[in-house]
Structure 1
Amino acid sequence: MKLHHIGMNVKSLEQSKAFYQTYFGFEEEMYLEWGCESILFLKKEDFRLELIEEAGEERGTGRTFVHIALSVENLEYELEVLKSKGLLPVEGPLLLENGWKVAFFFGPEGEIIELVEEG
C-alpha cells in the first residue's frame, strides 16, 4: 500500500487550483462530479491532491481535511483482509466513472480512510 491522494474541502475549485498551480507547480489531472460535489484532482510527480467543492449553502464549512487515500492493487482482496480483522467499510466498494474502485473506512479518531484501486 502507498499513499494515493489527500482530499480536502475547498470553497472555490478555481481559486484553490490557481493557488496550487502557481505556488507549488501542480497540474490538473482530472475533473469529475459526484452527487453534489465537484471534484478536481491535481497532480505533481507521484502525488495527488483532491479538491472537493460542495454545492449549496453548506459549501466550504466544517473541516478542511476530508480523507487520506491509499492505493491498492486489488481492492476486493484488501476488503477481505480487513473484514477478517473486523474492519468493515462505511461506504463501498464503489465503481467511479473514471474506472477507480473505492471503499471508505473510519479511523479511530473519525478520520476517513479511502482505499483506491485504479482501473
Structure 2
Amino acid sequence: MPDTPARTALRWSHAGLNCRDLDATEAFYRTWFGFERARAVELGEDRIVFLRNGDAYLELFTSHADPGPAAGGDGPQQPGSIRHLAFQTDDLQAFLDRAGEAVPISLGPLEFDEFIPGWRTVWVTDPDGVVVEVSQGYRDEQPVHPPHGH
C-alpha cells in the first residue's frame, strides 16, 4: 500500500455566495443572522465582503451573471448544488415573529417530532434566492457514530 501524506487538521472556513446586490445580501445576513463585516476587498467596480458570526464566515461576491431559476422549498435538488445554508436558534417562533413579512418563507414551518421531539424548521430565502434553513431543537444521536470504514 502506498504511503499516504500525514493528515492535516482542517476546519471549516466559509461559504461563498454570488450576489446581485451585495449591499442587500450583506444587510440580510447582518439583520437576520447576526453577521458582522470582517473584511471588504475592493476590486475596481466590484468587491468581496467577508461576514463573520463566531467561527462561521460568508464570503459575498458581486455577480453580474443572469440568475438561475428560483429554488424554493428547502433548496435546489440538483446534484452539485448547495441545497441550503442552515442556522440553529433556541426560539424559532421568536425569529418568525421578528422577521414578519420581511423575510420570505419558502417552506414551513414544519415540525419533526417523530424524529426528535421539539425539532421545528422553516426555510426562507435571501435577496438572491439562496434558501436558508432556521431550525430549533435538532440534536445529534447519542453516541455519534462515524461512517462505516472509519
Give the TM-score of the pair, scaled to structure 2: 0.36
- Structure 1 or 2: larger helix share? 1
- How does the TM-score come out when normalised to structure 1? 0.45
Give the structure with higher Rg (CA): 2
